[in-house]
Amino acid sequence: MDFKIALRNVKKSFKDYGVYFLTLTLAVCIFYTFNSVGSQKALIEIQNSGRSYVDTLNSIMSYTSIFVIFILGSLILYANKFLIKKRNKEFGIYMTLGMKKFKISKILIWETLIVGIISLIGGLIIGIIFSQGISVLSLNLFDIDINKYKFVISNSAIIKTIIYFGIMFFFVMLFNITVISKFKIIDLITSIKKNEKVKFKNPFIHLIFFLVGLVFLNTAYAIVLKIGLYDIFDMGFLPLIVIMLGVIGTILFFLSVSSFFIYLFKRIKGVYFKGLNIFVIKQIGSKINTNFLSMSIICLMLFITTGALSSGIAFRNTFNNVLVEATPFDGSAYMYSPENGLTIEKSFEKIGFKFNEGDEVVYFNEYKLGTKLFHILGGSSGYDVSYIKISDYNKIRELKGEEKIELLDDEILMISNVDNLVPIVEDYMKNNDTVKVNGIDYKIKNDKLIKENLITDNFKNNFLTIVINDKVLEDNGVVRSSNVNVNFNKNNKQESEDKFLKVLSEYRYGKVNYDEVGLVFGSTRNAIYEENKGLTTTILFIGIYLGIIFLISSMALLALQQLTEVNDSIHRYKSLKKLGVSVKQINGTIFTQVLVYFSLPVCLSIIHSVVGLKVVSNFLQTFNRPNIFIPSIITMIVMLIVYLLYFYVTYTTYKNVVKNEI
């Protein structure tokens, strides 16, 4: 009997609350899809090749999934709260007819089980299909032949999904039992007649909270825009302070915005008393004031969604593009500030390392003369300007297959390739034809800035290097770094590369005596490409994963809040109907109410996102000139399409419920 009642209620819920079941199914689908990544053909092949970043990706995905399940669990508990509230009158009738709370709890347990099983089965089926698209994406991201695609069902991901969602639904059951135990018949029967209470009746308090919220948000914006991501994390508690300002500012905005604008509109008589505006304004104010905290959370989730999706794509595109310029040689190694005449060549000799016959090798030093960037370019950057001998620079050019450059004693070359500095250096060269070095003016020989890395590295690292005649550096220079570039013998390239990477790993993992041989860093072009592929793909997967989860959760919360509170407003729409208001006019009030309710968190999240993406873009300019505009537009379009879909479903369902009741 209990099961039949529960089954009937679930069928009814499918009709009235399709958004809720759709969200559960999509959540299961996305959860399975991204937890099945480790079973994809591409990652299995890469893992078998001994590359460790696959394990890192799987590990990060697992930790992210724990976070995701908390988000989804909170969403479902929140949805249950509203679903039970919608059914208060129904439960009140059950209790009036003599049904015990324990029996009502049993019915809800059955309902939760039925919903959970249907959602799991539906979500897993869709997830298995959708995961094949992720498999194809993985093949593309890791440059593996598409012909190696194979249909895969991840048993481990299925088990993890069932366990995680099983635990989540268990807590939903406990939540429902706890809520039922607190029911009182009189409250259940009369709940529909209760109106939301609008807090903070004093308009002055509205104004204070509203202005303080705006001040907090603007302060957070100003700090991150001025300092940026690169430096802010070196400033102790400042990142936490900025986050708190943003969160509190968002909460204060939604806490006060409805009451503040109600007060404002009341002073504009022509607007407030026009048509049904007084009704619409009261409805919107009541909804926002009641749900200000959830709207704040939704706004922040949408901000994270935009940032995660856009930044994930931008990070991958940026680092992929930068590697072409950042890796001019097959391999490079360097030693910072060597002491006692030690060079990287001598260090290799001390540990018995020799390059293979046929490898093309160039050793060279970079020097410093006490010149900082601000000495030449102005500004405040205290980064050292590097200097290199013309003889060494020509060896590097020869290794790249380029012609030598002749310099007179009073001439220099300027080299830079860090994107946010390049325009500044070019502007200097446009307005100046000399550079002062050690108090002497030297002519700039190159009309156009030379943009290149002098070594193979993970990113474009040449802030500003000046090529000058050898004698200046021999007499005055202090060695900043000792370096080596190598192009491996084409006949045994893999062997030479493996040998070079092996010696670098000995330095990295402390298998040498640093006091005697120093500390050497370095890598090869192929290794850097692989590391970049692992890093950017991990960022991209996590960004898409979190972005989709937050987007679904945000839209579901807004939709559920509107649909589950329809019954609270039915008596108001009945009153309008009795007063002669047409159905078309009533639909207009519903459209405006839902539109404003959906738009407020979206608009504020877009403002947050514009600031956030500007900061990310500035950060990425350290490595390359990023194209974050296109990923942002794509993200916004996808978010807008899905958002409009949820808005349309919510408005249509809301309108139909009101139409049927009045």
DSSP string, 103-140: HHHHHHHHHHHHHHHHHHHHHHHHHHHHHHHHHHHHHH
Q: 367: helix, coil or strand?
A: strand
Q: What is the pLDDT of residue 137?
A: 66
Q: 544: helix, coil or strand?
A: helix
Supply the pTM of this predicted model.
Answer: 0.67
E strand or H helix at 487, and its extent? strand 478-487
Q: What is the pLDDT of residue 198?
A: 43
Sort 10 into a burial class: Cβ within 10 Å, 0-12 / 13-18 / 19+.
Answer: middle
91-95, long-range: CB < 8 A, 24+ apart = 91/180, 91/183, 91/188, 92/183, 92/185, 92/188, 92/189, 92/191, 93/189, 95/183, 95/185, 95/188
Residues of the chain with pLDDT under 50: 49-50, 195-200
Interatomic CA distance for residues 288 and 169, integer angstroms: 29
CA angle 247–249–253, rounded 5-degree value? 120
Query: Cβ atoms within 10 A of the Cβ of 197, count?
Result: 9
CA-based torsion, 308, 79, 291, 19: positive or negative: positive
Q: What is the pLDDT of residue 15?
A: 58
Alpha carbons within 13 A on the beta-carbon side of 110: 17
CA angle 514–518–519, rounded 5-degree value? 90
Q: What is the CA radius of gyration of the chain?
A: 32
Average pLDDT, the chain: 81
Q: What is the pLDDT of residue 195?
A: 45
497-501, long-range: CB < 8 A, 24+ apart = 497/330, 497/331, 497/524, 497/526, 499/356, 500/331, 500/333, 500/355, 500/524, 501/527
Q: What is the pLDDT of residue 45?
A: 56
Q: What DSSP string describes 381-399? A: --PBPEEEEHHHHHHHHHH
Q: Tell me, what amino acid is at 502?
A: K
Q: What is the pLDDT of residue 116?
A: 79
CA-based torsion, 431, 436, 442, 447: positive or negative: negative
Task: Tell me the pLDDT tens digit for each residue of 147-203.
Answer: 666 677 888 888 988 988 888 888 878 877 777 776 666 555 555 555 444 444 566
Q: What is the pLDDT of residue 18?
A: 64
Q: What is the pLDDT of residue 330?
A: 95
| Residues paired with 524 in a beta bridge | 331
Q: What is the pLDDT of residue 53?
A: 59
Query: Cβ atoms within 10 A of the Cβ of 380, count?
Result: 7
Cβ atoms 385, 373 nearer than 8 A: yes
Q: What is the pLDDT of residue 623?
A: 57
Q: Which of 435, 635, 620 is closest to 536 using CA atoms?
A: 620
Cβ atoms 272, 524 nearer than 8 A: no
